[in-house]
Amino acid sequence: MTSHVSATEEETRRLGASLARRLAPGDVVLLEGELGAGKTAFVKGIAAGLGLDPEDVSSPSFALVHEYGPAGKPPLLVHGDLYRVFAGASIADLGLDERKSAILAVEWPRPPLTERRAWRVALRIESDGSRTIDVEPPGIRPSSP
C-alpha cells in the first residue's frame, strides 16, 4: 500500500491520473472515504489518465452509474456510487460487473465486491483540510495483527 498527501483537488486528480496508467481493462477501483473526501475528484483524474475529458465526470450519487468513453463504442470507464442504494446492494446487483472491458470505479463499495482485479483507494480528510490517499494494489492485503 502506498500513501499520498493531497493538498488540492488538482493533486487528487493527478494521483488518479497516475493510477490510470497502471490500470488494465476490466480492473476495478474501490473508493472509500467520507462525503467530500475527494472520491469523484480522484475518478476525474482516472478519466484524464485514460484520455477522457475529466470535466465530463460527475458524481453518480443520484444516477447510480455514469459511463464514459468515445461515442458509439463501449465505455472505457464506468463510475458507480452505492451510497444511496439499499444496504444489501452490491456491484453485481447493479450489473456493474458485466462491463468487463471497462475500468470500473465504485464509490461506497459494499460486499460482496467483485471477482475482478480490484484496487482499493481510501481517502481521508485531515484536520488541515488536506487528504491522505492510500492506494492498495490488487492482491495486497494487510496482515492481521
State yes or no: cis peptide before 75, omega within 30 of 0: no
Q: Count CA within 13 A, CB hemisphere, residue 95.
A: 4
In whole angstroms, what is the distance from residue 92 CA to residue 55 CA? 28
Domain ranges of the chain: 2-136
Which residues have C-beta within 8 Å of that of residue 35, sequence separation ≥ 6? none
CB 107 within 8 A of CB 80: yes
Cite the DSSP H helix spans in the chain: 9-20, 39-49
Domain spanning 2-136, CATH class:
alpha beta
The whole-number pLDDT of residue 144 equals 39
Burial classification of residue 44, based on how many CB atoms lie within 10 Å of its CB (0-12 exposed, 13-18 middle, 19 or more buried)? buried
pTM of the model: 0.88
β-pairing, 2-6 vs 131-136, is antiparallel
Cell of 46: 482516472
pLDDT in tens, the chain (145 residues): 999 999 999 999 999 999 999 999 999 999 999 999 999 999 999 999 999 999 999 988 778 889 999 888 889 999 988 786 656 666 666 666 677 789 999 998 876 666 778 999 999 999 999 999 999 999 855 443 4
Which amino acid is located at 76 in the chain?
L
